[in-house]
Chains A and B, each alone.
Chain A
Amino acid sequence: MALEIIESCVNCWACLPLCPHQAIFAAQPHFLIDSEKCTECSGDFRAAQCASICPIEGAIVDELGEALNPPGSLTGIPPDRWAAARAEIAARQVVNKWSISGH
């Protein structure tokens, strides 16, 4: 029984000091949970501490790969809105490149 940190983790450090079993460690390219040590906080806290402070949706998953903080649950940004914004930014960057190489 253990949680897992996956690649969307941004290494923000928030979870690390909270773990009651020091199961979390700073690693590259992202933080990791030692599955031997993690108890999912059972017996210590009502909610997994790492997942209760993690600001990134989807960065912490359970053994089934289910995100403890699913998309839209923390930022309040609906996923389709995010996707539209990203597309818009990408389009703008292409235009910028064109105008810069223009002289």
Chain B
Amino acid sequence: MDLPVIASSVAPSGGCAAGICANSISQTGGHSEDLTEALRARVEDHPCYSEDAHHYFARMHVAVAPACNIQCHYCNRKYDCANESRPGVVSELLTPEQAVRKTLAVAAAIPQMSVLGIAGPGDPLANPERTFATFRELALKAPDIKLCLSTNGLMLPAHIDELAKHNIDHVTITINCVDPDVGAQIYPWIFWQHRRVLGREAAAILIGEQQKGLEMLVARGILVKVNSVLIPGVNDRHLVEVSKIVKAKGAFLHNVMPLIAEPEHGTFYGVIGQRSPTPAELQALQDACAGDMNMMRHCRQCRADAVGLLGEDRGAEFSLDKIAAMTIDYQAAMALRADVRAQIKAELQSKRDQAAEQALKQAEQARAAVAPQLLEFPIRPVQPAGRPVLMAVAAKNGVVAVHFGHAREFLLYQASEAGARLVGHRKADAYCAGDDSCGDGETLLGRTIKVLEDCEVVLCARIGIEPWGRLEAAGIQPNGEHAMEPIAEAVMAVWQEMLAAGKLDPGRAEAKRA
């Protein structure tokens, strides 16, 4: 099957990955200032898209759309166990009426809740009646809530007009490939026009509809985010191409997530032993695809029915029987919500202003540190002031606040002359539960160290002697001296110390990168 939509916009491939990426940066950089500003304004209080907003605003998902119309090799609808934390797997299926009630209950109790999404299990557009019934009611009853949905894209063109009618400003499409030969290794079949279509033909149809859907959404002014699952050996290098194409077509964000495959999940990939990417592989690919859109680095692949701020699951407070017993005065709630939103926006703005000032000061200091040489020997090649350093931070609410042994995740910052930049996050299992049940502590600590192996420094509020030694032995410097400081300041302080100690000379210790 021919895919003219794609073929016409794909540059001839070839050349190194770096070359392709440089292209994609200049492409995205080509957006007009206005567009970028407008986009920023639209996503700045979206907990999933804004790096700082996710500390303040909350999102929730409701599971109303169980049916799915395609099969992905990384999914198994059979599986829904208590330990499950993959995106798209939830336990409580709601009717549209229940979903609306739950959303209103949460929005009234948690005024920061700003986004309601319909995602998995299943595909929202394979259940159009249930999905649109939910959206229609919410747009009517709670116009202050942003609506979004995640879809595999197969039925996007078919439902685009209905979608555009509602209060929907974000759509996430999972696009894992733009080449049917790659797609045939990811999707064994789709359900299309009343029959099951297999193999390459299925992939070609899916890809065609996804790309058409993306274009139609952009044409209607609906924000589009693209998610991709990184599958080593299947679509890893191909994703750079995917990134380039979807951004050129107007997707505002491309988020690459790691494949999670275990035999226990009973998925095709799990059973045949397809491996997941290492954190470093994922990061390299995210860097390759980032362009100027690095807002998505904090994505935590939250549970689809999670309620609350990212990283914090308050779903249990809003079970069906509990919400049935609540009385909700949404008009009153809406006024409160508006107040809270205004407060948060003001706080965010002042933080952003401060950060900008800080960055300016730091850049000046850094320049001052190298300036004399540059001025005296302007002909000599510019000496970089110090190489960039990758640091892991055990943080909460924007400050270095977590005990190393209690950290469930680490934020990854790259510190360089240009300042501190959030480049990702790594999950860890808190190996110390604070009581004497640390039976698995030893192996968990080992796993945490492995997850952080490409970092040079780990910042935390406190750390025990044993993990300190183990980290040092692994070539990672623990640092507990910046407890309760804002992350960027702490990271830059450590970087400046390393610089002053001569640890960052370009010739020295590229140990971690070798």
Q: Interface of A with B (CB < 8 Å)?
A: 10, 12-14, 16-17, 45-47, 49, 52-53, 55-56, 74-77, 81-82, 85, 88-89, 100, 103
Contact = CB atoms under 8 A, between A and B. Distances in A.
B67 A16 contact: yes
Contacts of A75: 71, 188, 268
B263 A55 contact: no
A68 B244 CA distance: 41
A12 B122 contact: yes
Contacts, number: 68
A81 B272 contact: yes
B268 A53 contact: no
A60 to B, nearest CB: 12
Contacts of B263: 85, 88-89
Interface string B172-198: 000000000000000011010011100
Given A74-B188, A75-B268, A89-B263, A13 B195 contact: no
Given A13-B127, A75-B268, A81-B272, 5 more contacts: A12-B77, A16-B67, A56-B77, A74-B71, A85-B263
A20 to B, nearest CB: 10
B229 to A, nearest CB: 17
Contacts of B93: 13
A48 to B, nearest CB: 10
Contacts of B69: 14, 53
> On chain B, which size bracket covers the interface?
20 to 34
A14 B126 contact: yes
Chain A interface helix/strand/loop/mixed: loop
By Cβ-Cβ distance, the 5 closest A-B pairs, closest first, are: A13-B66, A14-B67, A53-B191, A13-B67, A52-B196
Contacts of A56: 77-78
A85 B272 CA distance: 8
A77 B71 contact: no
Interface centre among A46, A53, A81 (most CB of B within 10 A): A53
B89 to A, nearest CB: 12
A77 B271 contact: yes
Contacts of B195: 45-47, 52
